[in-house]
Amino acid sequence: MNVLTINNLKKNFEGRPILKGVSLSIREGETVAILGPSGSGKSTLIRCAGLLERMDEGSMICLDKKVAWMENGQCVYAGPKELKQVRSNMGFVFQSFNLFPHFSALKNVTDAQIHVKKRTAKEAEERARALLKKMDLSHRADAYPYQLSGGEQQRLSIARALAMDPKVLFFDEPTSALDPLLTGSVLQVIRTLAEEGMTMAVVTHEINFARSVADRIVFILNGVVEEEGPASILDNPSSPALKEFLSGITK
């Protein structure tokens, strides 16, 4: 079953085409890695999937619910209530973490549970502490985001997203703001989630990580999907574009 299906997505920014008809499907339990050079449109794709950007054209279905569709040549989105429902199935992890600086680590994970999911403070805290433990952040529960390292901040933001029990988790370059020493712990967390069967789409520059964790690779260049397939396409790319991209990275 597909958790998310996007068809023929087109998106312009100030008249400049960023995505020129991209389709993306994510099956339940699958980890999809979205690769591509800077400016290829991969971040825009994941932001459209996570409902942070609106598509100019295209259709989108999330867990059998129609999110957006074409009507008389126009892309129409579902109403606010339906979108709220769809959004509650999605989690999003940003490149720059976007933690709430005025909340402690613990409160970053409990607050939305209490105010959005309407859990009791006790339930929320139990869930949060379990997630902090899983992210190896138990000892940092009372720290504020500025007191955490980049890797800790990103793991905290993953805990914050997981606390809302999303059916699909989107990552927009989760390690690009981290120095190489700190990326490991974040990638390890994503790897563990993949092993547990979490449905995920990850925009990343980490080729080795994509190769070892992703069930499927989507390679985007200049707003179109140039090549798509199992992780093995990274070892045997068939398109010249992916070949060139990979050789540029390994050099």
Partner 1 sequence: MSFLQITSQLWEGMATSMLLFCLTLLGAIPLALPLAFGEMSRFRPISLLCQGYISIMRGTPLMLQLLVVYFAPWYVFHIPLTGYRFTAVVIAFVLNYAAYFAEIYRAGIESIPKTQYEAAEVLGYSKGQTFFGIILPQTVKRILPPMTNEIITLVKDTSLAFAIGVMEMFTMAKQIAAAQKSMVPFAAAALFYYVFNLIVARLSALAEKKLSYYR
Footprint of partner 1 on this chain (CB under 8 A)?
A: 50-52, 84, 87-88, 90-92, 94, 96, 98-102, 111-112, 115-117, 144-146, 160-161, 164
If the CB atoms of residues 71 and 146 are measured against partner 1, the closer one turns out to be 146
CB–CB of 174/204 below 8 Å? yes
CB-neighbour burial class of residue 27 (10 A; exposed 0-12, middle 13-18, buried 19+): middle
At its nearest, how many Å lie between partner 1 and the CB of residue 90? Answer: 7
Question: In this complex, which beta carbon is closest to partner 1, that of residue 200 or of residue 217?
Answer: 200
Q: Which of 13, 9, 77 is nearest to 220 (CA)?
A: 9
**If you search the block for the tokens 């509650």, which residue do you land on?**
88
Nearer to partner 1, 112 or 246 (CB): 112
Min dist. Cβ of residue 212 to partner 1 (A): 27
Pick between residue 162 and residue 242 the one whose CB is nearest to partner 1: 162
In the complex, minimum distance from the CB of residue 118 to partner 1, in angstroms, rounded to a whole number? 11
Give least dist CB 96 to partner 1, A.
6
Report the nearest approach of partner 1 to the CB of residue 240 (Å): 36
Q: Where are the beta strands (DSSP E) in the chain?
A: 2-13, 16-27, 31-35, 57-62, 65-71, 74-77, 90-93, 168-172, 200-203, 216-221, 224-229
Instruction: Pick between residue 50 and residue 237 the one whose CB is nearest to partner 1.
Output: 50
How far is it, in rounded angstroms, from Cα 37 to Cα 14? Answer: 21
CA distance 142 to 108: 10
